[in-house]
């Protein structure tokens, strides 16, 4: 037999082996999925912590029930509130929650809490596990510790949160963060509390990084209206009690926009904005009460179907490459994957463990010293 024929047969043989291996892996994944789904239906329930978004809670419960026959009991609140409860229950030996979806740096104090377990062991579907479906590959919030506890699935061009009352402020009057120091806006600026994780802290830490602490001291002297109640800030902006707000998003202002009130997002300032993962991180509680239902949920959430749902309801752009996110631009929530290189995204972000520790946490502590 000629050498060329041997090479040909060798290549064909290798191809056949690879095909069989691929089929074997696919069959194994299907078997794992089928087993998880069967066990999940026996468990019949999932307890889930959610971001403070009424529409998400309203839609996800009936959808998951009709899709898989599994009830979801949801708790909707800011991430730190639910996270603190999970950690406290864990220390007391109580297991009530199964999983938690939260924003940005909420996970930083949770990494070494012992209350969560690696989420990658729950990822079984090929379309979830394969990096080719994810812009930038797999991103873990705990990217320094490398514990793979928390998966980051959202990537937005810029943090939401620069809005103005169009009856009080013209868009061209605020083209730089320096314009916020204008005496005209004293006592007229609302700020989502940067002393807790959230979009307020994202913007505050960005300013701490690029403008420095002296700038933030001047901004604080503008007598900011600082609150953790984002709806309260939005209401004050819509009614003209505030002229400008930082750190609240479209979801909080949507009711006022639909009513035709004079509320509009400001153009991106000259200094730019930090890239964000919004409410786009998911983690699994250690030894969850409903492990099979948790596995079904994690795989559904990170699948194309789940990410299309989450993107649509939350108006936050998934990193999945097979989900269309270009339409989000009209909602001022441009997807990072549609507007920038991953290198630029990685440079501009101020979330994930590395930057949560080096930028967000020190800026948060600084906020505690000057905001009363």
pLDDT tens for residues 298-330? 999 999 999 999 999 999 999 999 999 999 988
Closest-CA residue to 248 (of 192, 195, 207, 188): 192
What is the Cα–Cα distance from 222 to 141, expressed in whole angstroms?
34
Is residue 124 a part of any domain in this protein? yes
* 250, 331 contact by CB (below 8 A): yes
Q: What is the largest CA-CA distance in the chain?
A: 89
Q: Is residue 356 part of a domain?
A: no
Q: 52 lies in which domain range?
A: 8-156+277-340
pLDDT of residue 26: 59
- CA–CA dist 76, 74 (Å, integer): 6
Domain CATH number, residue 219: 3.40.190.10
Say if residue 57 is in the same domain as residue 139.
yes
Are 256 and 270 contained in the same domain? yes
Q: Is residue 350 part of a domain?
A: no
Phi, psi (deg, nearest 5) at residue 256:
-75, -35
The tokens of 350 are what?
């101020």
Q: What is the model's pTM?
A: 0.83
Alpha-carbon distance of 339 to 355, in angstroms, equals 22
pLDDT in tens, 218-259: 999 999 999 989 889 999 999 999 999 999 877 788 889 999
Look at the chain and report how many structural domains it folds into. Answer: 2
Measured N-to-C along each axis, helices 304-314 and 291-302 cross at an angle, to the nearest 10 degrees, of 70
Residues 49, 109: one domain? yes
């Amino acid at each position: 037999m000629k050498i060329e024929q041997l090479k040909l047969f060798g290549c064909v043989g290798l191809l056949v082996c690879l095909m069989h291996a691929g089929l074997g892996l696919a069959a194994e994944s299907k078997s794992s999925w089928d087993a998880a789904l069967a066990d999940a239906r026996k468990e019949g329930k999932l307890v889930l912590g959610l971001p403070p978004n009424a529409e998400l809670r309203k839609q996800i419960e009936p959808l998951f029930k009709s899709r898989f026959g599994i009830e979801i009991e949801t708790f909707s609140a800011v991430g730190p509130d639910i996270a603190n409860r999970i950690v406290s229950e864990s220390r007391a030996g109580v297991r009530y929650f199964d999983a938690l979806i939260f924003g940005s740096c909420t996970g930083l104090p949770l990494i070494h809490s012992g209350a969560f377990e690696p989420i990658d062991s729950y990822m079984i579907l090929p379309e979830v596990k394969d990096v080719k479906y994810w812009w930038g590959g797999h991103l873990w919030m705990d990217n320094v510790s490398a514990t793979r506890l928390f998966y980051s699935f959202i990537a937005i061009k810029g943090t939401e949160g620069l809005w103005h009352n169009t009856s009080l402020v013209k868009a061209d009057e605020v083209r730089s963060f320096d314009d916020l120091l204008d005496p005209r806006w004293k006592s007229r600026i609302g700020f989502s509390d940067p002393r807790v994780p959230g979009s307020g802290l994202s913007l505050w830490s960005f300013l701490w990084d690029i403008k420095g602490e002296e700038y933030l001291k001047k901004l604080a002297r503008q007598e900011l209206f600082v609150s953790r109640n984002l709806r309260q800030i939005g209401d004050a902006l819509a009614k003209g009690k505030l002229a400008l707000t930082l750190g609240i998003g479209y979801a909080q202002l949507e009711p006022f926009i639909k009513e035709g009130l004079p509320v509009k997002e400001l153009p991106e300032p000259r200094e730019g904005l930090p890239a964000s993962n919004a409410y786009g991180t998911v983690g699994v509680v250690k030894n969850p009460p409903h492990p099979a239902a948790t596995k079904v949920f994690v795989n559904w959430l990170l699948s194309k179907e789940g990410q299309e749902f989450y993107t649509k309801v939350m108006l936050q752009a998934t990193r999945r490459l097979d989900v269309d996110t270009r339409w989000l631009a009209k909602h001022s929530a441009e997807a990072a994957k549609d507007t920038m290189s991953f290198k630029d995204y990685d440079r501009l972000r101020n979330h994930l463990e590395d930057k949560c520790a080096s930028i967000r946490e020190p800026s948060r502590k600084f906020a505690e010293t000057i905001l009363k």
